[in-house]
């Protein structure tokens, strides 16, 4: 399974599925990360966490643990 956590800087990917359950999954989906959305990885912090993304025209910062729940292609 390829997740958002493994995407290199500058790459654009498409969301296949948001894994997880309960409030964490709901919070990710409320941020606009849903099936079919394109996400561009803009930056990664020096220690690797968090990741800065562009989603639906706005910038979003996400922890690697949360990014690991987002399956992409």
Helical segments of 1-73, H only: 22-30, 64-67
Task: Output the pLDDT for position 1.
Answer: 78
Q: Is the pTM of this model over 0.85?
A: yes
Three-class SS of residue 27? helix
pLDDT tens digits, 15-65: 999 998 899 999 999 999 999 999 999 999 998 889 999 999 999 999 999
Strands 51-55 and 58-62: antiparallel
Range of the domain at 22: 4-72
DSSP string, 46-64: TTS-SEEEEETTEEEEE-H
CATH number at residue 53: 2.30.30.90
Instruction: Count how many domains the chain has.
Output: 1
């Amino acid at each position: 399974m390829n997740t958002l956590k493994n995407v290199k800087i500058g790459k654009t990917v498409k969301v296949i599925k948001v894994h997880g359950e309960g409030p964490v999954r709901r919070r990710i989906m409320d941020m606009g990360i849903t099936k079919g959305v394109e996400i561009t990885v803009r930056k990664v912090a020096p220690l690797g966490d968090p990741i800065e993304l562009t989603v639906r025209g706005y910038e979003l910062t996400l922890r690697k643990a949360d990014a690991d729940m987002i399956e992409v292609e």
